[in-house]
Amino acid sequence: MTTNAPPLSPKERYRLTVTGGETDRPPIWIMRQAGRYLPEYRELRSQHTFLDFCLRPEISAKATLMPIELVGIDILIIFNDILTPLRNLGLDLDFPKGGPVIANPIRDMERVKSLPKVIFGDEPVAESIRLVSRHAPEYPVLGFCGAPFTLAVYAVEGFVKGDKEEILRLVREEPETLDLLLEKLTTVATDYLVLQADAGGAHGVQVFESWGGMLLEDEAYERFAAKWQREVISQFRKRCPETPVHLYVRGSRNKLAAMDATGADVLSVDWNTPLTEARRATKRTLQGNLSPEVLLDPNLVPGAFEEMIRGFDWQQGWIANLGHGITPKASVEAARRFVECVRALGKEGG
Ligand code: CP3
């Protein structure tokens, strides 16, 4: 692309990147980009509960839009949480300080069998996406869901901390209970994505597998994580064939072949997976993977950025991002520097 061409709109840059076209530079967004590292988010958060953010479209939209001006990202992700749709399954979800808590976790077959069938209406998340698109029509907006196994971890454990004893007990001792739970969560996750794409008009969706890659290996990863990721992605693809799907896996390094086999359009890898290694494993668009630690200090960014992309040809399809969510202690200045590094790629060589 010549240097005289007008810059692409963020929507066009995203579309071309995902479909294998040529772009002026890679697009960038940051996982958890609307979060506690932003003073403006903390101020808004001090006036509302976290569930207000997930359930009230005007508050969700306000938070979603913040990182455009404050950080300069190209892609928006709707402000919500992977756990919100668990409420529709009758789970009593709250977000006290220290992370999400479910007061009535699912621990046995009887409970799994008695879970209600979820039928989504026009949920608040769809209205949030519509509001964001109205305010920022040039920007692509991503919807998202948790991968079935990651949702199961929270639904079974009931809270974030601890050694994940309950879910691992199901893996070892009651695999059929877990199979049935995962089947039900797969329907919830898929329907939630379809709602965001169809009713909301999301321009892409991301599936977050935050735990499968960390807790499971080999046959267990295949049976309880990869199989259901493929199911969500293929069912979604049938119902929303035009909407690209991103798959994020924490613990991606030895899961690249399984990620490729899901058919996701964009594979989002963690910070322990060199991009050159990921590129050898797949031809798909990659996403990632600066370590969130780097954003604690602006001075670390240029060196770490250079190291991340050494030997990696971004023009084969890359969306710049972190390898996991930005932390509350991150520096806003560091996030901006990350954006600058990506923008500078567009100036090299025309
Ligand atoms: O990226 C964005 O800006 C969009 C919003 C978003 C949130 N959560 C907001 C949030 C997204 C995409 C998520 C996904 C999510 N939520 C995941 C998958 C990604 C990952 O981190 O692996 C998971 C596992 C959850 C569950 C969850 N929600 C946890 C573990 C926590 C507590 C940890 C923490 O950072 O406090 C949350 C709460 C949460 N979700 C916050 C935000 C901004 C912090 C809540 C607050 O403001 O008090």
Question: Largest Cα–Cα distance of the chain, in whole Å?
Answer: 65
- Residue 341 identity (one-letter amino acid): C
The strand pairing partners of 289, in sequence order, are 321
Please name the residues in contact with 168: beta carbons below 8 A apart, sequence gap of 6 or more: 215
> What residues are in contact with ligand 1 under a 6 Å CB criterion?
31-36, 45, 50, 77, 79-83, 95, 99-100, 144, 160, 208, 210, 250, 325
pLDDT digits over 115-173, tens only?
999 999 999 999 999 999 999 999 999 999 999 999 999 999 998 888 899 999 999 99
Q: Where are the domains of the chain?
A: 10-349
The strand pairing partners of 159, in sequence order, are 101
pLDDT above 70 covers what percent of the chain? 98
pTM of the predicted model over 0.85: yes
User: From 3.20.20.210, 3.40.50.300, 3.40.309.10, 1.20.120.80, which CATH number describes the 10-349 domain?
Assistant: 3.20.20.210
Residue 16's φ and ψ, nearest 5 degrees, are: -65, -40
pLDDT digits over 4-37, tens only?
677 899 999 999 999 999 999 999 999 999 999 9
**Cβ(202)–Cβ(239) below 8 Å:** no
Return the closest-CA partner of residue 24 out of 40, 45, 42, 9.
9
Pick from 80, 81, 83, 209 the residue to mutate for probing ligand 1's pocket: most ligand atoms within 8 Å of its CB. Answer: 81
Has residue 296 got a pLDDT over 80?
A: yes
Distance CA 50, CA 55 (A): 9
Q: Is the dihedral of CA 267, 275, 225, 105 positive or negative?
A: negative
- The rounded Å distance from CA 314 to ligand 1 centre is 28
Distance CA 156, CA 171 (A): 11
- The rounded Å distance from CA 189 to ligand 1 centre is 16
pLDDT above 90 covers what percent of the chain? 95
pLDDT digits over 50-78, tens only?
999 999 999 999 999 999 999 999 999 99
Instruction: Give the mean pLDDT of the chain.
Output: 96
331-334, long-range: CB < 8 A, 24+ apart: 331/37, 331/295, 331/296, 331/297, 331/298, 332/37, 332/38, 332/39, 332/70, 332/71, 333/298, 334/294, 334/295, 334/296, 334/297, 334/298, 334/300, 334/301
Pick from 29, 30, 32 the residue to mutate for probing ligand 1's pocket: most ligand atoms within 8 Å of its CB. Answer: 32
